[in-house]
Amino acid sequence: MTAIANRYEFVLLFDVTNGNPNGDPDAGNMPRLDPETNQGLVTDVCLKRKIRNYVELEQEDTPGYAIYMQEKSVLNDQHKKAYNALDIKPEPKKLPKDVAKARELTAWMCGNFFDVRTFGAVMTTEVNSGQVRGPVQMAFANSIDPVVPMEVSITRMAVTNEKDLEKERTMGRKHIVPYGLYRAHGYVSAKLAERTGFSDDDLGLLWRALINMFEHDRSAARGEMSARKLIVFKHDNALGNAPAHTLFDRVHVGRVEGEANTPARHYADYTVTIDRDNLPDGVAVEEML
Amino acid sequence: MSFGIRLHVWGERACFTRPELKTERFSYDVITPSAARGILEAIHWKPAIRWCIDRIHVLKPIRFESIRRNEVAGKTPKGHISKAMKNGRTDELRYYVDTNRQQRASTILRDVGYVIEAHFEFTSRADNSDSAGKHLDIFNRRARQGQCFHMPCLGTREFPAAFQLVESDDAMPEVDTALAGERQFGLMLHDIDFANGKTPRFFRASMVDGVIEVPPFAEALA
């Protein structure tokens, strides 16, 4: 497969209603917050996990689209057995003895695994040859406005242990964000794509994953999450035609007029405008969603 | 320096990990020369040249923040990959993230801005076609247009670096008043000596009114 020939940047807007988009393990699984601004945060790795999960679902068993970094929930037992059977002799650390051989391993991994080809991976205990830097990079997503997480206490009409039987029920807690619109920035490097073979088909799949990933990530914790907008900047040149930050500045997310001081509770409380005037030469804007 | 460059870089977050505190990452107070070199290489690099960082201007107050994430616990043994290649199938080659998980905190920098002053030297791989003007022009042209080989980052790839060339007749971006005076950062990583078995080399970093003078790599402490 031929690699993509253009550099891209993208802005993804997604929202959450009464859910926890990304729990903070440091804060008892409360939604992540930027301590300085109280804006909600969603880490890059959280979004990448969802992309992987979506690709796994869409491309199930398609050769070349396996997902390397697996979550157990999407596995069947057969895989586990095979893995266990394989997991035998750990090799001691060695210096790279054959660079060509190591390259071959890396190339094979890129060819077979979508996530290795897209995000890269640290493979093998050899240092230089087994490390893949993928073309797609994402940054932390921030909510547009500060979010105020709520703690909701819930009860369960059952107990886990027999000795607690007289208690009849247990209490639990959920942390939710009533509403939050989040903005994520991403980058696709054509030059790194050349090295991993990330193709135009892969790029199409990446866009589909970004648009649909929340549709297949429903859970009690997440509430209602959806992708609202995906704005893509395409550069003519593989190295790019304009600085990324100037392109991101063209996407403006504001509150609907007159509502600035009330809490936002719906996507309709926001307006998204894209400044298409005087785009730098060789840069095209596409709204994928 | 006859062919020096100045690049203004900034971003919302950064993590220049201290080697002594790397399981739970803890950032240095400021960008390391090594990370600054990586940013320049993301814009232009060829085996014929080596970027040398001369000076780092710190523009914004130094502030930290902590973030904890689920991370994977190990790397992939190459034996597994060659076995899968031999069998020609991928279904047995997986990494289970939730059985090999570690939660790690990172103490990272918030809202950073730097100006990197640097020049390049030729390496032994340079030939007749490599003139200083050529590489300087390529770098300046790319930086001016926002072009890059891959998006440069502030320490780790989840913290992208916005960049802008500071032209030779441009004024320097302003340094925050909080940085006035002298400050010692202690021993800081200069760079890794890749020619000598990846030995890290350090220097005593001190900042005067926001400016850190970076000694030549050869003078750094091994």
Q: How many residues does the structure list for chain B? A: 222
Beta strands A69-70; B95-96: pairing state:
parallel
A245 closest CB neighbour out of B70, B90, B162: B162
Number of domains in chain A: 1
Residue listed under structure tokens 């279904």: B91
Residues of A whose CB is below 8 A from B147: 237, 239-241
Question: Which pLDDT score is estimated for A130?
Answer: 60
Say if residues A191 and B150 touch (Cβ distance below 8 Å): yes
Helix or strand run (H / E) with residue A233: strand A224-235
Confidence of residue A100 (pLDDT cuts 50, 70, 90): confident
* CA nearest neighbour of A103 among A111, A113, A114: A111
ipTM above 0.95, yes or no: no
**Contact call for B105 and A26, based on CB within 8 A:** yes
- How near does any CA of chain B get to the CA of A123, in Å? 5
Q: Which residue has the higher pLDDT, A73 or B73?
A: B73
Question: Which pLDDT score is estimated for B2?
Answer: 53
Does residue A166 come out as left (phi exceeding 0), alpha (psi in the -120 to 50 range) or beta? alpha
Residues of A whose CB is below 8 A from B97: 49, 69-71
For residue B150, the tally of other CB atoms under 10 A from its CB is 23
- CATH number (domain holding residue B84): 3.30.70.2660
User: CB burial class (10 A; 0-12, 13-18, 19+) of residue B82?
Assistant: middle
Q: Is A108 inside a domain boundary? A: yes
Number of domains in chain B: 1
The answer to whether residue A157 scores a pLDDT higher than 50 is: yes
Question: Which pLDDT score is estimated for A102?
Answer: 75
Backbone angles phi, psi at B20, to 5 degrees: -80, -15
Strand partners, B11: B112
- How near does any CA of chain A get to the CA of B151, in Å? 7
pLDDT in tens, A230-251: 999 999 999 999 999 999 999 9
Residues of A whose CB is below 8 A from B12: 139-140, 142
Q: Is A178 inside a domain boundary? A: yes
Alpha-carbon distance of B177 to A198, in angstroms, equals: 46
- Best mutation site among B150, B165, B166 for testing chain A: the one with the most A CBs within 10 Å? B150
- How near does any CA of chain B get to the CA of A282, in Å? 11
- How near does any CA of chain A get to the CA of B10, in Å? 10
Region A152-165: mean pLDDT is 81
Q: Which residue has the higher pLDDT, A33 or A95?
A: A33
B75 closest CB neighbour out of A70, A112, A123: A123
**Contact call for A82 and B91, based on CB within 8 A:** yes
Spell out the per-residue pLDDT of chain B, length 222, in tens: 457 899 999 999 999 999 999 889 999 999 999 999 999 999 999 999 999 999 999 999 999 999 999 998 887 777 788 888 888 887 778 888 888 888 999 999 999 999 999 999 999 998 888 888 899 999 999 999 999 999 999 999 999 999 999 998 889 999 999 999 999 999 999 999 988 888 899 999 999 999 999 999 998 887
Structural domain of residue A62, as residue ranges?
A: 7-287
Q: Is A1 inside a domain boundary? A: no
The answer to whether residue A72 scores a pLDDT higher than 50 is: yes
**Contact call for A123 and B78, based on CB within 8 A:** yes
Cα radius of gyration rounded to whole Å, chain B: 20
Q: Is A2 inside a domain boundary? A: no
Say if residues A208 and A53 touch (Cβ distance below 8 Å): no
A239 closest CB neighbour out of B13, B90, B147: B147
Residues of A whose CB is below 8 A from B98: 71-73
The answer to whether residue A79 scores a pLDDT higher than 70 is: no
Q: What's the mean per-residue pLDDT of chain A?
A: 86
Q: Is A94 inside a domain boundary? A: yes
Region A274-289: mean pLDDT is 94
Region A56-81: mean pLDDT is 69
Helix or strand run (H / E) with residue A252: strand A251-255
B/e letters for A23-53, b = 16+ CB within 10 Å, e = fewer, are bbeeeeebbbbbeeeebbbbbbbbbbbbbbb
Region A126-141: mean pLDDT is 80
pLDDT in tens, A11-47: 999 999 999 999 999 888 999 999 889 999 999 999 9
The answer to whether residue A125 scores a pLDDT higher than 70 is: no
Q: What is the 3-state secondary structure (H, E, C) of chain B?
A: CCCCEEEEEEEEEECCECHHHCCCCEECCCCCHHHHHHHHHHHCCCCCEEEEEEEEEECCCCCEEEEEEEEECCCECHHHHHHHHHHCCCCCCCEECCCCEEEEEEEEEEEEEEEEEEEEEECCCCCCCCCHHHHHHHHHHHHHHCCCCCCCECCCCCCECEEEECCCCCCCCCCCHHHCCEEEEEEEEEEEEHHHCCEEEEEEEEEECCEEECCCHHHCEC
Alpha-carbon distance of B64 to B112, in angstroms, equals: 10
Q: Give the chain B residue nearest A101 (alpha carbons).
A: B82
Confidence of residue A93 (pLDDT cuts 50, 70, 90): very low
Residue listed under structure tokens 């597994």: B80
- What percent of chain A lies above the pLDDT cut of 90? 65
Q: Best-predicted range by mean pLDDT among A89-98, A160-169, B132-141?
A: B132-141
* Contacts of B141 by beta carbon, 8 Å cutoff, 6+ apart: B147
Exposure on the CB side of residue A232, measured as CA atoms within 13 A: 18
- Best mutation site among A24, A52, A245 for testing chain B: the one with the most B CBs within 10 Å? A245
The answer to whether residue A164 scores a pLDDT higher than 80 is: no
User: Structure tokens of A2?
Assistant: 């031929």
Structural domain of residue B194, as residue ranges?
A: 5-219
Question: Which pLDDT score is estimated for B187?
Answer: 95
The answer to whether residue A116 scores a pLDDT higher than 80 is: yes
Q: Is A161 inside a domain boundary? A: yes
B146 closest CB neighbour out of A32, A142, A242: A242
Q: Give the chain B residue nearest A113 (alpha carbons).
A: B90
Alpha-carbon distance of B83 to A87, in angstroms, equals: 10
Say if residues A71 and A49 touch (Cβ distance below 8 Å): yes
* pTM (two decimals): 0.87
Helix or strand run (H / E) with residue A206: helix A200-212
- Number of residue pairs across A and B with CB atoms under 8 Å? 159
